[in-house]
Structure 1
Amino acid sequence: MSKAFEYHQTSTEMVDFLRNLEDTRRAVAQEQTAVPEDPPPSDTFQSASSQNPLFTLYSPFQLFTPVDQLVETAEYIREKRIAMGKLVQTGHRDMKQTYAGKKHSSLCDIRKLNRIGLGDMSCRKVHVGSYLLCRIVSRPSRIVGVTFVIQDPAGLAETLAFYNAPIGMTPTGPDLDILFPLGSILAVREPYYKLSSAGAASIRVDSPTGLIWVDEGNALVRGVSWKKAPFWPEEIWREKPKKTAEQLKTTGNQLLSAGRLLAAEHTYSQGLALDPNHLALRLNRAAVRIRLKQFRSALVDTDHVLTYHSTSIPEPLLEKALFRSATAQYALGQYSLANATYGSLLSQFPQSQEARNGIAAIATRLVEMKSGYYDWIELYKSSQTNPAVDVAEYAGPVKVGLSPGRGRGLFLTEDVKAGQLLILSKPFAAVYKTDLGPDQSLFSCNLHTNTIDIATQSYLTQPVLAHIKDDPSAYKAFSCLYAGPEFPLPPVFSALEVVQPRTQPSMQPVDIDISHVEAAISFNSFSPRRISPALEWNPDYGSLSPLSDTSPTGLYILPSVINHECLGNCSLTFWGNAMCIRPRAGLKKGQELTISYASRIDLDKRTAILKKHRIRCTCRLCQEDLRDSAMMQERRLGLVARMENLTKNEPNVKSLKLARGMMQELIETYSKDSNPFLRIDLWIPFHILADQLSYFARSLMYSPSMNQPSGGRHPANSPDYYANESIHFEKMALESCGVVLSPTPPVIRSTPLAREDPCVDSALHIAALYNFMNMRLEARWWVDGAVLMHSVNVGGGRKLFKLRFKSKIEACDVGSYLD
């Protein structure tokens, strides 16, 4: 990302990009202040030219480019985008740029707006109180937004750029042509007419609800006459014979077979506009909507068939209608309704295996939702291949309340035990690397958080908007998210409202404030990196690997209410895209739950991450870190890096001596009165030193004549000495992460506050060393301690532990202690 940023800083595209951001800010600022009545056009441009030299490029009579030239340019851009799409398939990078920040969204009912023409509009202005009626006169192209040429009834033409259309990753080409067909009539609510630094004018629409598709019979076009220009290219604009509903069904089926889902859904919708009672079209559209995860819209289609045609529907179509209805209900978490629908399907079609499978799955989901009991082994296995795991959501003894000085928070309604499942939450929306297509190059400047967003976070807006479009009532849940200081603090809400969906939500469309949507995503997105097989610790990654440009990003409603502490009292794990929250220790009724927003351990990087969330953390870890000077902290990080370099080669006498010396220097970087249980940076060096000593212990066992470290402190040919010293430093590694130890079982009295999996690794290493010295009782204690730490932070008991740590258990030769 840094290289891309450096490139854009020096490119003219970046200069244009940032100037366009300023254009948007100015226009939105105009919207929020009193705007004087516009002077006549000539005075407007005379006044503007004295303020901005860009306006001198145009006289009042040259502002609007002829429509044929605009269409020709649009066709050229379209061809270039199609060619670029082919290059991307061969590995070529297509660097795109966008931003999240203050943008205009019209929230006014169009019936309260007055029609305006292009000739009445002013550049760099949001036309509050007006709407623009126009139609599409060119084929569309897409970089980030969708652009095409529009023409108003007077015959004036301009380019329109439509951002945040909920059309997924649809590129320039035939599918985009189907979604934005020539001749379509549009109404742009309170249009923003912008002028770029290069002098190019366009209408910019940022909200997906800012553009309204208008049918020919709509009152907005009643009595409107259109000036048809004679110079439209014949190959682009030609009258085509209208297809019948049956023909559109055939075309839709072909598109569906080819996997072109959005185009198929649009084509089926065109057919239903001609014949709303066409059963096959209804059911086919329901099928494609299910594949598009538009489950609420799919239910609209199946309910229409089952309600209005229940007595006349042929049996094959009835079976499809019942199955698709139950499938959509199940996906929405409406398990009781889905159970009834599957029951109806089974009673009328006893041979239906799908109905039997559905009823069995629902029984499992109801147990999960009510009790929080899950088959963790099956969930773990399925999450390794598909992030969209099939589980029900669960909310345990928690409630949303007010946290002093921190807004809202999540609190316990009863006492809970360490490791008890409190929440299992599925995402409102999520984006994974596989969703991005072959080219993931996107430069996204986030003005809400003053950061550069990774690609999956930028594209998360797409599935969020698609979810709201499909289920407008979901906007209420989305509106519960904190959206930063520029928006009002959302109210306290019930946890069950989020986990248990409404059975009959409103399908009334909602107006979307795109700035609010982007801000909520900016402040609440998580990276759902699934738990995976725990491999041997790799010093190149530390305990937590940093986010990469292609890390997944997800939005979770209830967990987003949980406030931050660097050493939160709850652990967070992802099973595919399902997030689990568990307490690290027993907690009392009324206690507030906290998690860490920052995966990095060192203070500077933690502070930088938290700055995005406007958090100035004063938790005990931050207070401990602030005891040490910046110079000491920098020295500490440098020493840790040097210790990591020792792992690149096989241990030897020299490396062990260096490791001992650096370990002492590292300890001296902490103030004498600092808490030894909060020295989390020391886990890596302690573990490395323990590994070095373990190497010498094993080597001496099998090669007694090997060269040993010098010094009278080390008895010759004593593997047990090095093993015990290795155990000593591994225990110090555990204590540095907050683990409280005991010489008798249970040897682990509290679980780690950070570096959970690495601490399990340390415990297994200790067990292996005791086993090496034939101290089998102690080895069993430490295997049990490793299982305990894993069960509290992750869950799943011994079975899951054996599955995740299989390779480590085999390497340590401690499998017999798990039987």
Structure 2
Amino acid sequence: MNTLQAQDFPQILERIENQKRMLRNAQSHAGQRPARKNDRVETIIRFNIARTAGLQSRQYEPGLSRTSMSFIPPPYAPCAQPFCELKKSMFNDLVLETHHRGTYLLVRVVTPQDRMTAVMAIVEDEKGEVLLLQLYHQAEMTEDVLVPGKVLIVKDPYLKLTADGRHGLRVDHVSDVVFLPAHDERVPFFWHSELTTPQHKSADFWKTKGNDCFGRAKYQAALEHYTRALVSSPTTEECHTINLNRSLAYLKTNSFDAALVDANSVLEDANGKTKEKALFRKAQALYSLQRYRECCDVLKALRLEYPDNASAKAKLNEAASRLAEQTSGKYHFKKLHAEAVRLRPPQLDHATYTGPVEVRQSGSRGRGLFTTKAVKAGDLLFCEKAFVYAFHEIEGTSGDGRLMTNLLIDANANSFTSGAQPELITMLVQKLYQNPSLASAVKDLHRGSYSPIQGVFDIIDENPVIDSFLLTRILLLNSFGCRLPEKAGALKPPVGLDRLDDLFPSLGVWALASHMNHSCLSNAFRSFIGDMMIVRATEDLPANAEITIQYLNPFNPQRQQKYIKNWAFACDCAMCEEDDRTSDVVVAKRNTLGKSLEQLHRLLTRHRGSSGAAKAASLIRKSSAVLAELEGTYSRPAEEVPRLALWVGYRDLACALTVTGAGLGSNSQKVIDIGLKALRCLGFVLDGGSLGTKQRLVVKKWGYMGAGLIDCWICLKTAYANTGSHELALAAQGYAKVCYRIQLGEDETFGEED
């Protein structure tokens, strides 16, 4: 994922400097008591006025595109102590800009919540003092997180100066706040409402209330009522029913680990219809956790004992399909495309396939991904479903074409990222908090210099300890930007240098893919269909070869500097070494010649048919002369270092001749010569290809997988066909198909028009 430097964007740099000033001002008050106590009435009124104004603004201007800026605060560790070791504090015990380690606050919500980058409400302590509470990384839900009367525990409270010079509680780690159920013995008696008084109510009463909330899609409230029912002396049969209902509510809130626990508790001694439901709930949880083999085993047992269960039959078919994908790597890619077009967000219900690859140590590069057997160019290495994925349509861009509607800013590094990062961080935090069994997939991913405390991800007081700053760092260093898939379609007019965006509005974390190290001269290529990443080999590889991909666009002139800043390494591939050796004068000359070629090729596309033949011939001669001059700027063989600017020039000339029809008939030989030169500029080693007695075209060594490579092969195929060289045309078409498979992930749609 690309990080941008703030000095290139004056408005953002100004915001960063303002943020730094506020942080310095806040730190100057560290350890001090607030200047004055918050007035209860004034604080509540002020909050409600601001909340109402915000709601009205969002209601009357829902489609207005705004720039949202989120700042990464100075990191601090989550609380990793059990509750029994913490000491109670009150608001008047707190001092500013201090993490009160080893303590906790008991607070009650007194206002409705407001939500911006954080969920906010005014809370009171047991003495009636009030503070603003800000909870970060809370999931978007149809029901409010903070509702009046709700009681919470805040661990290791942090009293923060706010932007308006006031003060409030800030909680960045979701595990540092505990939402107490109404019946919890830690809730003071005088905070009980009519419904939460400790007087006895039956399990059936709370189960009925839970069912009512579930029917209104108030799943968090339903979970609380079901939990209360379970501690209200239910019978064995009632306990089974409540656990089944709670399991379904957990499924609705993506808490699959908890849903599995409830289903298993019922299966310990249930039978009949209850057992049938419990088996199905268990299968649903296993399916959502992508444990497809176990899911199939449970559903087979369910089908065997309850053969008339139609839902189980349908779910078994789904799970069997996922298991087949997981084990064989065989996907119906046309169906994946159809799902990606239909779904918003395009999160596909498909399994991850781990092919002939495994994670190993890669010397100073840390861990890497290696082949376990020899593979051919175009072979599928793996196909991975995103661990978390945030989809954003491109709605607004700045004047320079970069997406600027959602920014995550690191004031310490004077840098920012653009797109769905804030949303994705919350998704990652919530997924691991709700399903701690999944932590092993991402907790050991590259985190740079960040060192978490001991105990992160441990289960304490029945919940995992989550470090949101660790997960933010992991996400920033391991996420991938992705586009919606595009088919290659018909040949398009030349466009000059590859204008590949380094920024994408949609982002995801693919844990296995994150182990691939970088090389500008990579040997693998990634593509996307929705939230499925497809990685294929771009050349023939032996067993035990390290798989590499490009982290950034090779046409980016500052890629070396950005690698150092983002990932703390400098690429030492042949392409980067050649960049270091190439003078600025030569680079400037290549850029100038490249622009001249781009203009000539655009002019060439305007002269179609016999009427423009003379002008086209003149343009071709001029283009050939510029290409010869451009070739003179290179010294090392293309087999060692791809000649990217020269490749683009030859490729675009071949495309221009083919698109305009100038490549037909007598000019087909010219297209063939130009197309073969273009391929050799990428380091391809070819046997045959020229017209003559040897009708063969064999790629002996695959070259750099440049954008537009499919078009180049199609140009060759067209020219061969025009000369009656059908065997060569078939060979060129075959290689075009392999390149299509590599660059678009599949070849089922090869040859189809957009």
TM-score, length basis structure 1: 0.77
Q: Does 1:332 align with 2:301?
A: no
Residues 306/488 of structure 1: CA separation in 2 closer, same or farther (3 Å cut): closer
Q: How far did 1:481 drift? A: 0.7
Residues 795/447 of structure 1: CA separation in 2 closer, same or farther (3 Å cut): same
**2:519 aligned partner:** 565
Matches within 5 A, 1:194-213: 194-196=160-162, 198-213=164-179
Structure 2 residue corresponding to 1:753, chosen from 691, 695, 704: 704
Q: Does 1:107 align with 2:80?
A: yes
- State the AA in 2 paired with 1:611: K
Q: How far did 1:164 drift? A: 1.3
1:285-339: CA deviations, max 9, x gaps? Answer: 544543544332332343344445x24x7x4x66554433322212222223322
Matches within 5 A, 1:358-369: 358-369=315-326
SS at match of 2:700: coil
**1:620 aligned partner:** 574
| Distance across 1 between alignment mates of 2:406 and 2:539 | 42
SS at match of 2:472: helix
1:330-359: CA deviations, max 9, x gaps? Answer: 222222332233224434543433322333
Structure 2 residue corresponding to 1:513, chosen from 445, 458, 467: 467
Matches within 5 A, 1:748-787: 748-755=699-706, 758-787=708-737
1:7-55: CA deviations, max 9, x gaps? Answer: 44456xx55533455578889xx8xxxxxxx7xxxxx56xxxxxxxxxx
| Distance across 2 between alignment mates of 1:440 and 1:305 | 50
**1:553 aligned partner:** 507
Matches within 5 A, 1:513-532: 513-529=467-483, 531-532=485-486
Q: Does 1:737 align with 2:701?
A: no
- Whether the 8 Å contact between 2:534 and 2:745 is mirrored in structure 1 is no
Residues 240/339 of structure 1: CA separation in 2 closer, same or farther (3 Å cut): closer
| Distance across 2 between alignment mates of 1:23 and 1:425 | 46
Which deviates more, 1-10 or 728-737? Answer: 1-10
**1:444 aligned partner:** 408
| Distance across 2 between alignment mates of 1:74 and 1:332 | 41
Structure 2 residue corresponding to 1:689, chosen from 628, 638, 653: 653
Matches within 5 A, 1:523-602: 523-529=477-483, 531-535=485-489, 536-537=491-492, 543=498, 545-548=500-503, 550=505, 552-602=506-556
**1:403 aligned partner:** 362
| Distance across 2 between alignment mates of 1:138 and 1:445 | 30
**1:470 aligned partner:** 434
| Distance across 2 between alignment mates of 1:346 and 1:393 | 26
Residues 562/574 of structure 1: CA separation in 2 closer, same or farther (3 Å cut): same
Which deviates more, 657-666 or 588-597? Answer: 657-666
SS at match of 1:90: coil
- Whether the 8 Å contact between 1:603 and 1:622 is mirrored in structure 2 is no
1:401-460: CA deviations, max 9, x gaps? Answer: 2222212222334444443333232222111116999x9932311358653122312211
Q: How far did 1:4 drift? A: 12
- State the AA in 2 paired with 1:651: R
SS at match of 2:572: coil
| Distance across 2 between alignment mates of 1:285 and 1:220 | 23
Q: How far did 1:669 drift? A: 3.4
- State the AA in 2 paired with 1:546: D
| Distance across 1 between alignment mates of 2:28 and 2:723 | 74
| Distance across 1 between alignment mates of 2:461 and 2:374 | 40
Which deviates more, 362-371 or 134-143? Answer: 362-371
Residues 94/291 of structure 1: CA separation in 2 closer, same or farther (3 Å cut): farther
Residues 506/539 of structure 1: CA separation in 2 closer, same or farther (3 Å cut): farther
Structure 1 residue corresponding to 2:226, chosen from 269, 272, 286: 272
Residues 219/637 of structure 1: CA separation in 2 closer, same or farther (3 Å cut): farther
Q: Does 1:17 align with 2:19?
A: yes
Matches within 5 A, 1:488-507: none
Q: How far did 1:616 drift? A: 0.6
**2:350 aligned partner:** 391
- Whether the 8 Å contact between 1:81 and 1:142 is mirrored in structure 2 is no
Which deviates more, 589-598 or 562-571? Answer: 589-598
**1:233 aligned partner:** none
Which deviates more, 627-636 or 661-670? Answer: 661-670
- State the AA in 2 paired with 1:175: E
| Distance across 2 between alignment mates of 1:459 and 1:271 | 29
Q: How far did 1:741 drift? A: 1.7
- Whether the 8 Å contact between 1:628 and 1:670 is mirrored in structure 2 is no
Q: How far did 1:204 drift? A: 1.0
Q: How far did 1:469 drift? A: 1.8
Residues 4/578 of structure 1: CA separation in 2 closer, same or farther (3 Å cut): same
Residues 677/22 of structure 1: CA separation in 2 closer, same or farther (3 Å cut): same
| Distance across 2 between alignment mates of 1:433 and 1:749 | 42
Q: How far did 1:129 drift? A: 2.4
Structure 2 residue corresponding to 1:175, chosen from 134, 139, 143: 143
| Distance across 2 between alignment mates of 1:339 and 1:700 | 57
Q: How far did 1:463 drift? A: 1.6
SS at match of 1:296: helix
Residues 450/741 of structure 1: CA separation in 2 closer, same or farther (3 Å cut): farther
Q: How far did 1:657 drift? A: 5.2
| Distance across 1 between alignment mates of 2:639 and 2:23 | 48
**1:706 aligned partner:** none
- Whether the 8 Å contact between 2:371 and 2:547 is mirrored in structure 1 is yes
1:142-198: CA deviations, max 9, x gaps? Answer: 110111111112222111111112x13x4xxx832xx21212222211111111454
- Whether the 8 Å contact between 1:368 and 1:391 is mirrored in structure 2 is yes
**1:495 aligned partner:** none
Q: Does 1:299 align with 2:260?
A: yes
| Distance across 2 between alignment mates of 1:476 and 1:246 | 35
Residues 379/483 of structure 1: CA separation in 2 closer, same or farther (3 Å cut): same
Structure 1 residue corresponding to 2:583, chosen from 616, 619, 629: 629
- State the AA in 1 paired with 2:327: K
Residues 634/192 of structure 1: CA separation in 2 closer, same or farther (3 Å cut): farther
Which deviates more, 320-329 or 672-681? Answer: 672-681
Structure 2 residue corresponding to 1:651, chosen from 606, 618, 622: 606
Residues 352/247 of structure 1: CA separation in 2 closer, same or farther (3 Å cut): closer
Q: How far did 1:207 drift? A: 0.6
| Distance across 2 between alignment mates of 1:25 and 1:738 | 56
| Distance across 2 between alignment mates of 1:436 and 1:206 | 29
Percent identity over the alignment is 23
Structure 2 residue corresponding to 1:424, chosen from 383, 391, 395: 383
Structure 1 residue corresponding to 2:739, chosen from 770, 782, 789: 789
- State the AA in 2 paired with 1:769: A
CA-based RMSD: 3.7
SS at match of 1:366: helix
Matches within 5 A, 1:1-40: 6-10=10-14, 16-22=18-24
